[in-house]
Structure 1
C-alpha cells in the first residue's frame, strides 16, 4: 500500500482545438447562473477556488506560491479568470493563459467545485471558457488533463471539440 504522501505519476494528455466550435453550449435551465470575469481577484478568494476545485486532483502549479508570486500570476495582463456562480455561490472557475498570443491560448485551469458537480454545469462552463479564449483570436487553443483529474474530463474536452496531440508524464506531490 502506498503512503498518502508518496509522489504520484500522472499521465498528461495534451489537447488542442484549431477552430472555434460552431455553437456555444446553452446555459442549463432551472438554476440561476452567472459567469463573471474577475478584475483584481483577492488572493484569498483565488486560493479558495483553487483548493476547492484542485485539491482532489492534486493541482500544484499555484499551490505553494507566495502572495507576491500568486498576485503576479493571476493579475497579469495575459491572465483572464472567470467565475461560475450558481444561485449566488461560487461554483467553479476557469483561467486562461493568453501570454503566447497570437499563436496559442491555453485553458490553464478549469473546474467545478465538488458541491456543484453532477448538476450538468461542466459542458456549459467549458463552452464559456472556450469561447472566451477564442475571443482573443488565437491560432489554436490548448488544454491539458491528466490521470489525476476527473475521469470524465478527457471525454468532456473531446466532446466540446478538443483533440489529443501529445502525451507526457509528470511526478506530482499529493495535496496534504
Structure 2
C-alpha cells in the first residue's frame, strides 16, 4: 500500500511592478555567463530545468503535464524562455507568460539550479527577466512567490522593485 504524503500549505504573495527600473543589474565578474533565449526548447530539456530549479520548492503546475500539452505550452507564441549558462552549464531559467498583453507580462517561472545558489547570480538574472518582460511594453510586470520558495525570494523581488498587491493560500503536493 502506497502512503500519500500530506499536502504542504503555501502562502502565495502576488507582486507587480508598474514602471521599468532605471538600471539593469550588471553581469557579475568571474565566471563566463550567457543568457540565451531558448527557441523550440526540447521538452526533455525543459523538464530537466523545471525539476532542477523547481523540485526543492515543490513546483507543481508543469510537473505531471503530458509531453504534448507541455510542448504546446512552452512553444506557444505567448511564451518566452531564457536560460542562464555559467561556464557552459545550464544554471537556471525564466519563463515569461505574455498571454495577457498588453496589460501584463508575467514572470511565470524564475530560478537557479541549487548548485548555483549563493554565487551572486540571482539579482543579475532577475534583472534580465525583468528587462525581457518590459521589452514587450506591458502596463505592468507580475511575479508570484510563496513560502516554499527560497526564503530570500520575496525580499529579492521587493528589492528589485516589485510590490506585493495580494496574498492567497494553496495546498501543494510535495515533490517526492
* TM-score range for the pair, normalised by the shorter chain length: over 0.9
Q: Where in structure 2 are there 5+ consecutive unaligned residues?
A: none
Distance 1:104 1:137 in 2: 9
Q: Which range moved further: 4-13 or 158-167?
A: 4-13
Partner of 1:115: 115
2:93 alignment partner, SS class: strand
Q: Which runs of 4+ in 1 moved over 6 A?
A: none
Cα distance per residue 1:94-151 (max 9 Å; x no partner) = 0000000000010000000011111000000000000000000000000000000000
Partner of 1:99: 99
1:71 alignment partner, SS class: helix
- How many residues are treated as equivalent by the alignment? 174
* C-alpha RMSD of the superposition: 0.9
- How far apart are 1:89 and its partner, in Å? 0.2
Structure 1 residues 122 and 4, CA gap change in structure 2 (3 angstroms) = farther
TM-score, normalization by structure 2: 0.98
Distance 1:4 1:55 in 2: 17
Q: Where in structure 1 are there 5+ consecutive unaligned residues?
A: none
Partner of 1:129: 129
1:30 alignment partner, SS class: coil
Partner of 2:51: 51
Indicate if the aligned counterparts of 1:4 and 1:174 stay in contact, CA closer than 8 A.
no
